[in-house]
Structure 1
Amino acid sequence: MKTFPDIKQSFRELIATPSISALEAKLDMSNQGVVTLLSQWLDDLGFDCQIHPVPNTRGKHNLLAKIGQGHGGLLLAGHTDTVPFDEGRWSQDPFTLTEKDDRWYGLGSCDMKGFFALVLEAVRQMPTQDFIRPLYILASADEETTMNGAKAFAQSKAIAPEYALIGEPTGLKPVYMHKGHLAQGIRITGRSGHSSDPAKGLNAIEIMHQVIGQLLKLKQHLAEHYREEAFSVPYPTMNFGHIHGGDAANRICGCCDLHLDIRPLPGLPLEVLEQLLTQYLAELSQRYPGAISISQLYPGSQPFAGQADAQWSQLVAELSNQAPEVVNYATEAPYIQQLGCQTLVWGPGSIEQAHQPDEYLDTAYINKTVDLLKHLIYHACIKTP
């Protein structure tokens, strides 16, 4: 076997390879460098690697690697992209691995390039020739924005593992359920004019006032009809995050924009939520023809629900010594689950470090995560039924 990088070197090279995802084209980057690195290393370990372009992206790719034969097995999944970093707020170069105070700092160290380095080390220490079921590794694109990588992979139905782990930073707690995310923009297009004669215009702020009234009714409906007590906030939430309209006190407002965020529970698909939004504004849309438009601010993410008492959930919980739990943030889990596998979100580090300046992974997670991964791979790929 060729000389293989140790954990720190693979961390260092992954972090040094920028792969920022952003909706704005000027900030967006390809993930080709990260995918190429991982493919080279996995090939050295004996994996069969396939790289596929992801539709509806700016040159992004998914990597799927497989080792072992047979049916079922385990999928270890993660995303190759990071969020943009805050210029001037990092204490060190975000693209240089910096070790300090028992922490490894760097953009993606926790969320979540570091997970791939730990997976590589776990596999390197295992007798892959003994695998009687396959081990898959998926490195996906654009999780931080559109999740188009995971969506495209789920639609391809290329594999059918029995189990899946998505290595987001959960503190090694198995996460079996999370909310979804829908971000919509509502624009009211009125008619501007002089404020001295309101009848000659159509005030967009006044119409938006009525729209907000209907949205508050929808918010109440969601709270009353959808509940899941496992969540700390056990109902779908709606937040009005941005509003802007008008340009002068003596002009009738001709345009008003509202941005809102809704976090649906499992059992409330985004399509149904969008239909409810349209339904609650239907009467106003008829009263003011052509004045109300609803648009997607950016692609949403479906809610995810597994089972806390499923075999996989219980095994991961037992080995990790952590009870299965639910979280409020969104991941690729609902799309990976479409492959038909028992799916969990589970990985090293804290979500509190994600998307923050001076992102880091506590080094206490390194050996522990490698050991746990080896146990989980053994159970899914080697252990006889």
Structure 2
Amino acid sequence: MFVYIQSPLVMSWQGHAGVSDWGIPNAYFFSKVDLSRYPVWGSTFAIAVTSQLATQDGNILFMLPSFHFHIFSLSSLEVSQGKYPIMKTTSNLILLWGTFLLSHSSAFVIENTYQHPLIVDDSSISPLQISTSSDANNAPSYRKNLLSLHKSLIEIPSISRTEQEVGKFLLDYLRNNLGYVAKAQFLESDKKASHGDDDDHSQGRFNVLAWPSSHNLSSPRVLVTSHIDVVPPFIPYHISTSEGSDEVTSDAFISGRGSVDAKASVAAQIVAVEELIRAKEVDPADLMLLFVVGEEISGDGMKTFSTVYNDEEKNKKEELPRFKAAIYGEPTENKLSCGHKGMTGGVLKAQGIAGHSGYPWLFKSATEILVKALAKIVSADLGSSERYGNTTVNIGTIAGGVAANVIPKEAQAKLAIRVAAGNQATGADIVRKAVDKILKETDEEAFTMEWTGGYGPVECNCDVDGFETMVASYGTDVPNFEGDYVSYLYGPGSILVAHGDDEGLKVSDLETAVEGYKTLIKHALAA
């Protein structure tokens, strides 16, 4: 067996002088020494199996006294003994041998007693597997159940208006896996399709209601809720584990449609409730779960629940619960939201006079006046506040005209406006009045604004110890559930990827959310 010993600064390596990234001179002299004949001295060294220099992809690996690794190329390296060619990578595992300090000098000696291999030729052990085993030991006991539930939810497509299959899965999971009381709450428009049978899910859209107790419906004090519909298109489930290992660590990345918004919240909420019950930290009768449809489009699922909840006649007959708090699951990066902007919008239509494009002064271009009005709207101050910032406008679509050489008679644009002014009751009206004023100033007769929905900024409780806080610029189901209760808004993942092709989050985000929901539930019950 031979070893190559390096001595610094004898001649140039690849024509370069200076210091490498590791602070080692970029010039070395290499000597070939037969270990069977001589003791070996030097500052750093590498040993290769079967008389080959320790190489990988044509590079030499050295272990430095500071226990870092440095890589040098042998190509064009000239030493006094002649040129050494680049050695081919061997399939044998490379053994890197440590050094032993004999004195305060820089001299080191190799002795078999102190040779400790850093990589062992054992297919059952690898640095990656050791790392994941360590992570697995520190993983929460519920990791497997959490990831399995999250995966199942994502694998079932549930684009808005097609949520039935994921709803059926949840009913079965809550009943058969957890022993909860669970039922389908059909939307008003779909009640006929259900034929009056709460367990006939073959047709019609429905919310999922569940109680982790056989107590009557009137007892729950805290509602834990999120939505099961997602935006298009469907993106399959995928989890990225480290190369060469099937074990999942906390850093593993999970992607797929709904992996963040909001099936991550659904899975984390269910596991959080179950963990609290198993630990006997809460009374099961105090909690109710609600997973609604339609949040991404019109909020019709939560609006249905709210209508029933606030139905005085139905309350007299069934004594529906009176919640003191509701915990909403949405992507907040596991920060507790202090609220979110309001929402309004609609279709802005412009009416012109058609004619030949060569004589624009004789006619009225609907697209021209529409563009002028839109430019004023997006640049105007439509209201602001210290907490929520400025009201913002998104021009989602623009359409108009029939041909390039025809002055357009009609044009329209669809607007989505995030309201930062006023409060939940007044904010939308403030913005609408400001927009209407701009339209009249642009052209008193040309415009018709068809407003849809609308509410101002929504406040949520964020005064809970242990949480970072944030304010969201997106809408939620919070304003769709009317009632006298405290709202909390929290969940894993970022809204910035929620509707994109790269939607996803880490396992650690899910697990942090479970702990966060547990804290919020206990806080809400104690408040």
1:270 aligns with 2:428: yes
1:355 aligns with 2:499: yes
Deviation of residue 31 (structure 1)? 0.8
Q: Which residue of 1 aligns with 2:410?
A: 255
Deviation of residue 364 (structure 1)? 0.9
- The counterpart of 1:229, out of the listed 375, 380, 386, is 386
- The counterpart of 1:135, out of the listed 276, 284, 287, is 287
Deviation of residue 124 (structure 1)? 2.8
Q: Which residue of 2 aligns with 1:306?
A: 459
Q: Which residue of 2 aligns with 1:335?
A: 480
Deviation of residue 137 (structure 1)? 0.9
1:55/1:294 CA distance change after superposition, 3 Å: farther
Query: Distance in 1 between the 2:453 and 2:224 partners?
Result: 23
Q: Which residue of 2 aligns with 1:104?
A: 254
- The counterpart of 2:323, out of the listed 155, 161, 168, is 161
Q: Give the aligned CA root-mean-square deviation in angstroms.
A: 3.2
TM-score (norm 2): 0.58
Q: Partner of 1:125: helix, strand, or coil?
A: helix
Query: Distance in 2 between the 1:59 and 1:135 partners?
Result: 27
Query: Distance in 2 between the 1:36 and 1:332 partners?
Result: 22
TM-score (norm 1): 0.77
Q: Which residue of 2 aligns with 1:24?
A: none
1:54 aligns with 2:187: yes
Deviation of residue 179 (structure 1)? 0.7
The residue type paired with residue 116 of structure 1 is V
2:332, 2:470 within 8 Å by CA — same for their partners in 1?
no
The residue type paired with residue 355 of structure 1 is H
Q: Which residue of 2 aligns with 1:25?
A: none
The residue type paired with residue 134 of structure 1 is D
1:83 aligns with 2:231: yes
Deviation of residue 275 (structure 1)? 5.0
1:54/1:237 CA distance change after superposition, 3 Å: same
Larger relative contact order (C-alpha < 8 A, sep ≥ 6)? Answer: 1
1:193-237 Cα shifts (integer Å, max 9, x gaps):
2245557643324543664477479x33x2xxx432123xx2212
1:33-55 Cα shifts (integer Å, max 9, x gaps):
11111112222434322312224
Deviation of residue 175 (structure 1)? 0.5
Q: Which residue of 1 aligns with 2:302?
A: 150
Q: Which residue of 2 aligns with 1:118?
A: 268
Deviation of residue 154 (structure 1)? 2.0
Query: Distance in 1 between the 2:189 and 2:428 partners?
Result: 20
Q: Which residue of 2 aligns with 1:66?
A: 211
Long gaps (5+) in structure 2: 1-143, 191-202, 243-251, 310-319
The residue type paired with residue 152 of structure 1 is T
Query: Distance in 2 between the 1:375 and 1:307 partners?
Result: 16
Query: Distance in 2 between the 1:14 and 1:164 partners?
Result: 22
Q: Partner of 2:264: helix, strand, or coil?
A: helix
Query: Distance in 2 between the 1:168 and 1:216 partners?
Result: 28
1:191 aligns with 2:353: yes
1:306, 1:342 within 8 Å by CA — same for their partners in 2?
no
1:322 aligns with 2:431: no
Query: Distance in 1 between the 2:274 and 2:394 partners?
Result: 46
1:13 aligns with 2:175: no
- The structure with the largest alpha-carbon Rg is 2
The residue type paired with residue 253 of structure 2 is R
More helix by share: 1
- The counterpart of 1:33, out of the listed 165, 188, 213, is 165
Long gaps (5+) in structure 1: 22-28, 87-93
The residue type paired with residue 267 of structure 2 is A
Q: Partner of 1:98: helix, strand, or coil?
A: strand
The residue type paired with residue 32 of structure 1 is Q
1:344/1:126 CA distance change after superposition, 3 Å: closer
